[in-house]
Amino acid sequence: MNSDLPGYEQAAAIVAERVRAIAGHHHPRTEPVDLAHAAGRVLAVPLLADEDQPPFSRSTRDGYACRAVEASAHIALPVAGSTHAGEAPAGPLPSGAAWEIMTGAPVPDGADCVVMLEHIERTGDLVRLVQSRTIEPGDNIVSKGAQARGGDPLLAPGIALGPAQIALAASCGYSTIESFIRPRVAILATGDELVPIDAKPEPGKIRNSNAPMLATLVDRTGGVPVVLPASADTAGALDAALEQAIRADMLVISGGVSAGKYDLVEPALSRLGARFHFTGVKIQPGKPLVFGEIPQGERSATAKVFFGLPGNPISSAVTFQLFAAPVVAALAGGREAHPRFVFATLARDTDRKNKPGLTRFLPARCAFNDSSSELPQVATVPWQGSGDLAAFAQSNCFLVIPEDAGSLTAGATVRILLH
Ligand code: AMP
Ligand code: MG
Protein backbone atom coordinates (compact mmCIF):
# COMPACT_ATOMS: atom_id res chain seq x y z
CA MET A 1 0.00 0.00 0.00
CA ASN A 2 2.70 2.42 1.17
CA SER A 3 4.86 1.73 -1.86
CA ASP A 4 1.99 2.66 -4.20
CA LEU A 5 1.89 6.20 -2.84
CA PRO A 6 3.66 8.93 -4.80
CA GLY A 7 6.83 10.33 -3.26
CA TYR A 8 7.20 14.03 -2.63
CA GLU A 9 8.61 14.85 -6.08
CA GLN A 10 5.97 12.83 -7.85
CA ALA A 11 3.11 14.39 -5.87
CA ALA A 12 4.55 17.86 -6.47
CA ALA A 13 4.71 17.09 -10.19
CA ILE A 14 1.05 16.03 -10.20
CA VAL A 15 0.11 19.32 -8.52
CA ALA A 16 2.36 21.29 -10.89
CA GLU A 17 0.61 19.69 -13.87
CA ARG A 18 -2.79 20.76 -12.49
CA VAL A 19 -1.40 24.24 -11.76
CA ARG A 20 -0.26 24.58 -15.39
CA ALA A 21 -3.70 23.50 -16.59
CA ILE A 22 -5.37 26.06 -14.32
CA ALA A 23 -2.99 28.81 -15.43
CA GLY A 24 -3.72 27.91 -19.04
CA HIS A 25 -7.51 28.12 -19.02
CA HIS A 26 -8.44 30.07 -15.92
CA HIS A 27 -8.99 33.80 -16.46
CA PRO A 28 -10.09 35.39 -13.21
CA ARG A 29 -12.24 38.50 -13.43
CA THR A 30 -10.57 41.78 -12.55
CA GLU A 31 -11.34 44.80 -10.36
CA PRO A 32 -9.64 48.11 -9.61
CA VAL A 33 -7.92 48.03 -6.21
CA ASP A 34 -6.89 51.08 -4.25
CA LEU A 35 -3.08 51.29 -4.16
CA ALA A 36 -3.16 51.37 -0.33
CA HIS A 37 -4.84 47.94 -0.34
CA ALA A 38 -2.98 46.40 -3.25
CA ALA A 39 -0.28 44.53 -1.27
CA GLY A 40 -0.43 40.84 -2.17
CA ARG A 41 -2.89 41.41 -5.03
CA VAL A 42 -2.04 40.09 -8.49
CA LEU A 43 -1.69 42.54 -11.37
CA ALA A 44 -4.25 41.84 -14.12
CA VAL A 45 -3.07 44.21 -16.87
CA PRO A 46 0.39 45.44 -17.85
CA LEU A 47 1.59 48.37 -15.76
CA LEU A 48 2.79 51.10 -18.12
CA ALA A 49 5.21 53.97 -17.67
CA ASP A 50 3.08 57.11 -17.95
CA GLU A 51 6.09 59.11 -19.22
CA ASP A 52 9.84 58.77 -19.58
CA GLN A 53 11.56 57.61 -16.40
CA PRO A 54 13.21 59.64 -15.17
CA PRO A 55 11.13 62.39 -16.81
CA PHE A 56 14.20 64.68 -16.90
CA SER A 57 17.94 64.02 -16.74
CA ARG A 58 18.52 63.81 -13.01
CA SER A 59 21.58 64.40 -10.89
CA THR A 60 22.33 61.57 -8.47
CA ARG A 61 24.70 63.74 -6.41
CA ASP A 62 25.07 67.07 -4.74
CA GLY A 63 27.81 68.82 -6.73
CA TYR A 64 28.43 70.69 -9.96
CA ALA A 65 27.07 69.93 -13.43
CA CYS A 66 29.65 70.58 -16.14
CA ARG A 67 31.25 69.21 -19.29
CA ALA A 68 33.52 66.24 -18.64
CA VAL A 69 36.29 67.43 -21.00
CA GLU A 70 36.43 70.84 -19.33
CA ALA A 71 36.31 69.45 -15.77
CA SER A 72 38.97 66.83 -16.56
CA ALA A 73 41.35 69.62 -17.66
CA HIS A 74 41.31 70.71 -14.00
CA ILE A 75 40.76 74.35 -14.87
CA ALA A 76 38.77 76.65 -12.60
CA LEU A 77 35.17 77.04 -13.85
CA PRO A 78 32.89 79.91 -12.80
CA VAL A 79 29.54 78.86 -11.27
CA ALA A 80 26.87 80.08 -13.67
CA GLY A 81 23.74 79.06 -11.78
CA SER A 82 22.14 76.70 -9.29
CA THR A 83 19.27 74.18 -9.34
CA HIS A 84 17.90 72.24 -6.40
CA ALA A 85 15.51 69.28 -6.36
CA GLY A 86 12.00 70.38 -7.25
CA GLU A 87 13.05 73.30 -9.42
CA ALA A 88 12.24 73.35 -13.11
CA PRO A 89 15.08 72.46 -15.49
CA ALA A 90 17.34 75.54 -15.83
CA GLY A 91 20.28 76.41 -18.03
CA PRO A 92 21.68 76.11 -20.58
CA LEU A 93 25.14 75.72 -19.12
CA PRO A 94 27.46 78.32 -20.75
CA SER A 95 30.68 76.87 -22.13
CA GLY A 96 33.61 76.91 -19.73
CA ALA A 97 31.33 77.04 -16.69
CA ALA A 98 29.83 74.84 -13.98
CA TRP A 99 26.35 74.76 -12.46
CA GLU A 100 25.62 74.05 -8.80
CA ILE A 101 23.20 71.14 -8.50
CA MET A 102 21.55 69.02 -5.80
CA THR A 103 20.60 65.34 -5.75
CA GLY A 104 17.37 64.78 -7.65
CA ALA A 105 17.54 68.11 -9.52
CA PRO A 106 17.29 68.38 -13.32
CA VAL A 107 20.68 68.72 -15.00
CA PRO A 108 20.92 71.89 -17.15
CA ASP A 109 21.17 71.48 -20.93
CA GLY A 110 24.76 71.44 -22.08
CA ALA A 111 26.12 69.62 -19.01
CA ASP A 112 27.14 65.98 -19.53
CA CYS A 113 28.28 65.03 -16.02
CA VAL A 114 28.03 66.00 -12.38
CA VAL A 115 31.16 66.30 -10.23
CA MET A 116 30.30 65.36 -6.68
CA LEU A 117 30.85 68.02 -4.03
CA GLU A 118 33.56 65.97 -2.32
CA HIS A 119 35.71 66.07 -5.48
CA ILE A 120 35.60 69.87 -5.92
CA GLU A 121 37.88 72.65 -4.70
CA ARG A 122 35.90 75.87 -4.48
CA THR A 123 37.51 79.30 -4.35
CA GLY A 124 34.97 82.11 -4.29
CA ASP A 125 32.80 81.61 -7.37
CA LEU A 126 35.25 79.26 -9.07
CA VAL A 127 35.20 75.44 -8.83
CA ARG A 128 37.83 72.98 -9.97
CA LEU A 129 37.92 69.16 -10.09
CA VAL A 130 40.55 67.95 -7.59
CA GLN A 131 43.80 66.90 -9.27
CA SER A 132 43.50 63.24 -8.22
CA ARG A 133 40.18 62.75 -10.06
CA THR A 134 38.93 62.42 -13.60
CA ILE A 135 35.35 62.32 -14.80
CA GLU A 136 33.55 60.83 -17.81
CA PRO A 137 30.44 62.00 -19.67
CA GLY A 138 27.34 60.53 -18.02
CA ASP A 139 28.87 60.26 -14.54
CA ASN A 140 26.35 60.91 -11.76
CA ILE A 141 23.48 61.56 -14.19
CA VAL A 142 20.52 59.33 -14.96
CA SER A 143 19.40 60.53 -18.39
CA LYS A 144 15.79 61.24 -19.26
CA GLY A 145 14.16 57.94 -20.26
CA ALA A 146 17.16 55.79 -19.17
CA GLN A 147 14.98 53.62 -16.88
CA ALA A 148 11.95 53.44 -19.17
CA ARG A 149 10.26 55.24 -22.04
CA GLY A 150 6.74 56.61 -21.74
CA GLY A 151 4.30 53.79 -22.62
CA ASP A 152 6.78 50.98 -21.89
CA PRO A 153 5.31 47.99 -20.03
CA LEU A 154 7.07 47.87 -16.67
CA LEU A 155 5.26 44.93 -15.04
CA ALA A 156 3.52 42.00 -16.68
CA PRO A 157 0.14 40.62 -15.57
CA GLY A 158 0.46 37.83 -13.03
CA ILE A 159 2.98 39.50 -10.78
CA ALA A 160 2.07 39.74 -7.10
CA LEU A 161 2.32 43.28 -5.81
CA GLY A 162 4.82 43.98 -3.05
CA PRO A 163 6.43 47.17 -1.83
CA ALA A 164 8.64 47.65 -4.91
CA GLN A 165 5.80 47.20 -7.41
CA ILE A 166 3.52 49.48 -5.39
CA ALA A 167 6.18 52.20 -5.32
CA LEU A 168 6.65 51.83 -9.08
CA ALA A 169 2.90 52.09 -9.66
CA ALA A 170 2.73 55.18 -7.48
CA SER A 171 5.60 56.79 -9.41
CA CYS A 172 3.62 56.24 -12.62
CA GLY A 173 0.49 57.84 -11.20
CA TYR A 174 -1.59 54.73 -10.54
CA SER A 175 -3.84 55.39 -7.54
CA THR A 176 -5.71 52.16 -8.30
CA ILE A 177 -4.41 48.97 -9.84
CA GLU A 178 -6.45 46.62 -11.99
CA SER A 179 -6.08 43.31 -10.13
CA PHE A 180 -7.50 39.82 -10.42
CA ILE A 181 -10.46 39.08 -8.19
CA ARG A 182 -9.17 36.74 -5.52
CA PRO A 183 -10.37 33.14 -5.42
CA ARG A 184 -12.62 32.20 -2.51
CA VAL A 185 -11.16 29.25 -0.64
CA ALA A 186 -13.49 27.35 1.69
CA ILE A 187 -11.82 26.17 4.89
CA LEU A 188 -13.59 23.28 6.55
CA ALA A 189 -12.14 21.77 9.72
CA THR A 190 -13.55 18.41 10.68
CA GLY A 191 -13.47 16.58 14.00
CA ASP A 192 -15.81 15.77 16.90
CA GLU A 193 -13.14 17.09 19.27
CA LEU A 194 -13.15 20.65 17.91
CA VAL A 195 -14.62 23.62 19.76
CA PRO A 196 -14.56 27.29 18.70
CA ILE A 197 -11.62 29.45 19.80
CA ASP A 198 -13.64 31.39 22.36
CA ALA A 199 -14.98 28.24 24.04
CA LYS A 200 -13.32 26.54 27.00
CA PRO A 201 -12.71 22.99 25.81
CA GLU A 202 -14.36 20.29 27.90
CA PRO A 203 -12.13 17.30 28.72
CA GLY A 204 -11.20 15.55 25.48
CA LYS A 205 -11.94 18.60 23.31
CA ILE A 206 -9.50 21.01 21.67
CA ARG A 207 -9.85 24.39 20.02
CA ASN A 208 -10.02 24.53 16.26
CA SER A 209 -6.63 26.08 15.57
CA ASN A 210 -6.40 24.87 11.98
CA ALA A 211 -9.15 27.15 10.68
CA PRO A 212 -7.40 30.45 11.54
CA MET A 213 -4.00 29.02 10.56
CA LEU A 214 -5.27 27.94 7.16
CA ALA A 215 -7.15 31.24 6.74
CA THR A 216 -3.85 33.05 7.28
CA LEU A 217 -2.11 30.84 4.76
CA VAL A 218 -4.88 31.29 2.18
CA ASP A 219 -4.84 35.05 2.64
CA ARG A 220 -1.06 35.16 2.33
CA THR A 221 -1.21 33.11 -0.86
CA GLY A 222 -3.66 35.47 -2.56
CA GLY A 223 -7.02 33.85 -1.76
CA VAL A 224 -10.00 34.95 0.30
CA PRO A 225 -10.54 32.48 3.14
CA VAL A 226 -14.15 31.48 3.68
CA VAL A 227 -14.08 29.80 7.08
CA LEU A 228 -16.97 27.41 7.63
CA PRO A 229 -18.11 26.11 11.03
CA ALA A 230 -16.23 22.92 11.95
CA SER A 231 -17.99 19.72 10.98
CA ALA A 232 -18.67 16.72 13.21
CA ASP A 233 -17.36 13.32 12.14
CA THR A 234 -20.62 12.02 10.71
CA ALA A 235 -21.55 11.42 7.10
CA GLY A 236 -24.58 13.70 7.43
CA ALA A 237 -22.66 16.60 8.94
CA LEU A 238 -19.90 16.28 6.33
CA ASP A 239 -22.36 16.16 3.43
CA ALA A 240 -24.07 19.32 4.69
CA ALA A 241 -20.74 21.11 5.25
CA LEU A 242 -19.35 20.12 1.85
CA GLU A 243 -22.50 21.44 0.20
CA GLN A 244 -21.59 24.85 1.62
CA ALA A 245 -17.89 24.47 0.85
CA ILE A 246 -18.43 23.59 -2.82
CA ARG A 247 -19.78 27.11 -3.46
CA ALA A 248 -16.26 28.48 -3.07
CA ASP A 249 -13.65 28.31 -5.86
CA MET A 250 -11.54 25.75 -4.00
CA LEU A 251 -11.88 23.56 -0.89
CA VAL A 252 -9.38 23.04 1.88
CA ILE A 253 -10.56 20.46 4.40
CA SER A 254 -8.64 19.51 7.52
CA GLY A 255 -8.84 16.24 9.41
CA GLY A 256 -10.65 13.00 8.72
CA VAL A 257 -8.41 11.72 5.93
CA SER A 258 -6.43 9.07 7.83
CA ALA A 259 -7.42 5.44 7.97
CA GLY A 260 -9.37 5.65 11.23
CA LYS A 261 -12.96 4.67 11.92
CA TYR A 262 -14.08 8.33 11.97
CA ASP A 263 -12.09 9.45 8.94
CA LEU A 264 -15.06 10.02 6.68
CA VAL A 265 -13.90 12.84 4.43
CA GLU A 266 -12.89 10.75 1.41
CA PRO A 267 -16.21 8.90 1.17
CA ALA A 268 -18.05 12.23 1.53
CA LEU A 269 -16.01 13.70 -1.34
CA SER A 270 -16.70 10.57 -3.39
CA ARG A 271 -20.43 11.09 -2.91
CA LEU A 272 -19.94 14.48 -4.64
CA GLY A 273 -18.32 12.75 -7.61
CA ALA A 274 -14.73 13.53 -6.68
CA ARG A 275 -11.81 12.33 -8.77
CA PHE A 276 -8.72 11.75 -6.65
CA HIS A 277 -5.28 12.63 -8.03
CA PHE A 278 -3.66 11.04 -5.01
CA THR A 279 -4.74 9.80 -1.59
CA GLY A 280 -1.51 9.89 0.36
CA VAL A 281 2.08 11.02 -0.23
CA LYS A 282 5.30 9.54 1.10
CA ILE A 283 6.09 12.51 3.33
CA GLN A 284 6.21 13.06 7.04
CA PRO A 285 4.32 14.77 8.50
CA GLY A 286 1.38 14.85 6.13
CA LYS A 287 1.25 11.35 4.70
CA PRO A 288 -2.57 11.02 4.46
CA LEU A 289 -2.89 14.13 2.24
CA VAL A 290 -5.67 13.88 -0.35
CA PHE A 291 -5.82 15.89 -3.59
CA GLY A 292 -8.51 15.86 -6.23
CA GLU A 293 -11.21 17.65 -8.13
CA ILE A 294 -14.98 17.64 -8.17
CA PRO A 295 -16.34 18.03 -11.71
CA GLN A 296 -19.07 20.66 -11.88
CA GLY A 297 -21.04 19.13 -14.73
CA GLU A 298 -23.53 21.62 -16.17
CA ARG A 299 -22.86 24.21 -13.49
CA SER A 300 -19.39 25.24 -14.61
CA ALA A 301 -16.67 24.16 -17.01
CA THR A 302 -13.99 24.02 -14.34
CA ALA A 303 -13.82 21.36 -11.67
CA LYS A 304 -13.44 22.43 -8.03
CA VAL A 305 -10.04 21.57 -6.68
CA PHE A 306 -9.96 20.18 -3.14
CA PHE A 307 -7.27 19.24 -0.67
CA GLY A 308 -7.99 17.02 2.32
CA LEU A 309 -5.20 17.90 4.75
CA PRO A 310 -4.33 15.68 7.71
CA GLY A 311 -5.69 17.31 10.87
CA ASN A 312 -2.52 17.57 12.91
CA PRO A 313 -1.63 21.27 12.84
CA ILE A 314 1.91 20.88 11.50
CA SER A 315 0.77 18.30 8.94
CA SER A 316 -1.91 20.73 7.78
CA ALA A 317 0.57 23.60 7.55
CA VAL A 318 3.24 21.70 5.67
CA THR A 319 0.89 20.05 3.19
CA PHE A 320 -0.88 23.35 2.52
CA GLN A 321 2.40 25.07 1.75
CA LEU A 322 3.82 22.28 -0.36
CA PHE A 323 0.76 21.43 -2.41
CA ALA A 324 -2.29 23.67 -1.85
CA ALA A 325 -0.52 27.05 -1.96
CA PRO A 326 0.54 26.68 -5.62
CA VAL A 327 -3.09 25.98 -6.60
CA VAL A 328 -4.41 29.00 -4.66
CA ALA A 329 -1.74 31.17 -6.30
CA ALA A 330 -2.68 29.89 -9.77
CA LEU A 331 -6.40 30.52 -9.14
CA ALA A 332 -5.40 34.03 -8.04
CA GLY A 333 -3.87 34.57 -11.49
CA GLY A 334 -0.31 34.52 -10.13
CA ARG A 335 2.65 33.34 -12.10
CA GLU A 336 4.83 32.60 -9.09
CA ALA A 337 3.33 29.52 -7.59
CA HIS A 338 6.32 27.58 -6.29
CA PRO A 339 7.10 26.77 -2.65
CA ARG A 340 10.12 28.77 -1.52
CA PHE A 341 12.93 26.25 -1.05
CA VAL A 342 16.38 27.65 -0.28
CA PHE A 343 19.69 26.25 0.89
CA ALA A 344 21.07 26.61 4.40
CA THR A 345 23.87 25.17 6.52
CA LEU A 346 22.80 22.68 9.16
CA ALA A 347 23.92 23.87 12.59
CA ARG A 348 23.27 20.64 14.55
CA ASP A 349 22.95 16.96 13.67
CA THR A 350 19.37 15.83 13.23
CA ASP A 351 17.94 12.94 15.25
CA ARG A 352 18.45 9.54 13.76
CA LYS A 353 14.94 8.35 13.08
CA ASN A 354 14.34 5.62 10.62
CA LYS A 355 11.39 6.53 8.45
CA PRO A 356 12.48 4.80 5.29
CA GLY A 357 11.00 6.07 2.07
CA LEU A 358 9.50 9.28 3.51
CA THR A 359 10.67 12.80 2.73
CA ARG A 360 10.54 14.63 6.04
CA PHE A 361 9.76 18.28 6.70
CA LEU A 362 10.81 19.13 10.24
CA PRO A 363 9.98 22.44 11.94
CA ALA A 364 13.25 24.36 12.11
CA ARG A 365 14.62 27.78 12.77
CA CYS A 366 16.86 29.47 10.30
CA ALA A 367 19.02 32.44 11.30
CA PHE A 368 19.74 34.97 8.59
CA ASN A 369 22.99 36.02 10.20
CA ASP A 370 25.16 39.04 9.59
CA SER A 371 27.77 37.15 7.59
CA SER A 372 27.06 37.75 3.93
CA SER A 373 29.48 35.09 2.72
CA GLU A 374 27.73 32.16 4.36
CA LEU A 375 24.38 30.44 3.95
CA PRO A 376 21.88 30.94 6.76
CA GLN A 377 22.26 28.50 9.66
CA VAL A 378 19.37 26.19 10.36
CA ALA A 379 18.55 23.84 13.22
CA THR A 380 15.45 21.80 13.97
CA VAL A 381 13.19 22.87 16.81
CA PRO A 382 12.71 20.12 19.40
CA TRP A 383 9.12 18.91 19.03
CA GLN A 384 6.67 16.37 20.32
CA GLY A 385 5.30 15.41 16.94
CA SER A 386 3.03 17.04 14.42
CA GLY A 387 0.54 18.34 16.96
CA ASP A 388 3.13 20.42 18.84
CA LEU A 389 2.05 23.98 18.13
CA ALA A 390 4.33 25.42 20.82
CA ALA A 391 7.35 24.05 18.95
CA PHE A 392 5.92 24.96 15.55
CA ALA A 393 5.49 28.57 16.65
CA GLN A 394 9.25 28.73 17.39
CA SER A 395 10.06 27.73 13.83
CA ASN A 396 10.32 29.84 10.69
CA CYS A 397 10.96 27.08 8.15
CA PHE A 398 10.91 23.34 7.57
CA LEU A 399 14.13 21.40 7.20
CA VAL A 400 13.86 18.93 4.33
CA ILE A 401 15.25 15.47 5.03
CA PRO A 402 15.35 13.63 1.71
CA GLU A 403 13.84 10.18 1.32
CA ASP A 404 16.17 7.55 2.83
CA ALA A 405 18.67 10.12 4.09
CA GLY A 406 18.39 8.86 7.67
CA SER A 407 19.89 11.76 9.61
CA LEU A 408 21.85 14.82 8.51
CA THR A 409 25.11 16.00 10.02
CA ALA A 410 26.08 19.45 11.23
CA GLY A 411 27.79 21.48 8.53
CA ALA A 412 25.89 19.88 5.67
CA THR A 413 24.21 22.07 3.06
CA VAL A 414 20.51 21.33 3.37
CA ARG A 415 17.27 22.45 1.80
CA ILE A 416 14.71 24.38 3.78
CA LEU A 417 11.18 25.46 2.97
CA LEU A 418 10.49 28.97 4.25
CA HIS A 419 7.10 29.43 5.90
P1 AMP B 1 -7.25 13.66 12.02
O2 AMP B 1 -6.48 14.02 10.79
O3 AMP B 1 -8.69 14.04 11.92
O4 AMP B 1 -7.06 12.22 12.37
O5 AMP B 1 -6.64 14.52 13.20
C6 AMP B 1 -5.30 14.31 13.60
C7 AMP B 1 -4.99 15.11 14.83
O8 AMP B 1 -5.13 16.49 14.54
C9 AMP B 1 -5.90 14.84 16.01
O10 AMP B 1 -5.10 14.86 17.18
C11 AMP B 1 -6.85 15.99 15.98
O12 AMP B 1 -7.37 16.27 17.24
C13 AMP B 1 -6.00 17.12 15.46
N14 AMP B 1 -6.83 18.10 14.76
C15 AMP B 1 -7.70 17.80 13.80
N16 AMP B 1 -8.31 18.91 13.35
C17 AMP B 1 -7.79 19.94 14.07
C18 AMP B 1 -8.05 21.34 14.06
N19 AMP B 1 -8.94 21.89 13.24
N20 AMP B 1 -7.32 22.11 14.92
C21 AMP B 1 -6.42 21.55 15.73
N22 AMP B 1 -6.15 20.24 15.78
C23 AMP B 1 -6.84 19.42 14.96
MG1 MG C 1 -10.34 13.70 12.98
Segments of 84-148 assigned E as strands: 98-101, 113-116, 120-123, 126-129, 141-142
Q: Give the number of the atom of ligand 1 that is nearest the alpha carbon of residue 256.
A: 3
Ligand 1, atom 12, lies closest to the CA of 193
Ligand 1, atom 8, lies closest to the CA of 312
Secondary structure of residue 42 in the 3-state scheme: strand
pLDDT averaged over consecutive 10-residue blocks of the chain (419 residues)? 83 96 90 97 98 97 98 97 96 96 97 97 96 96 97 97 98 98 98 97 98 98 97 98 97 95 94 97 97 86 92 98 97 88 95 81 90 85 94 97 89 95
d(CA 309, ligand 2 centre) in Å: 11
d(CA 205, ligand 2 centre) in Å: 12
Length of the chain: 419
The predicted pLDDT at position 1 comes to: 47
Answering whether pTM is above 0.75, one says yes
Give the span between the Cα atoms of 283 and 318, in whole angstroms.
Answer: 10
Q: Is 310 close to ligand 1, i.e. is its CB under 6 Å away?
A: yes
For 315, list phi and psi in degrees, rounded to 5.
-60, -45
Q: Which of 192, 206, 309, 389 to mutate to test the pocket of ligand 1 (most atoms within 8 A of CB)?
A: 206
The predicted pLDDT at position 407 comes to: 84
User: Of 285, 58, 248, 10, whose CA–CA distance to 171 is shortest?
Assistant: 58
Q: Is 59 close to ligand 1, i.e. is its CB under 6 Å away?
A: no
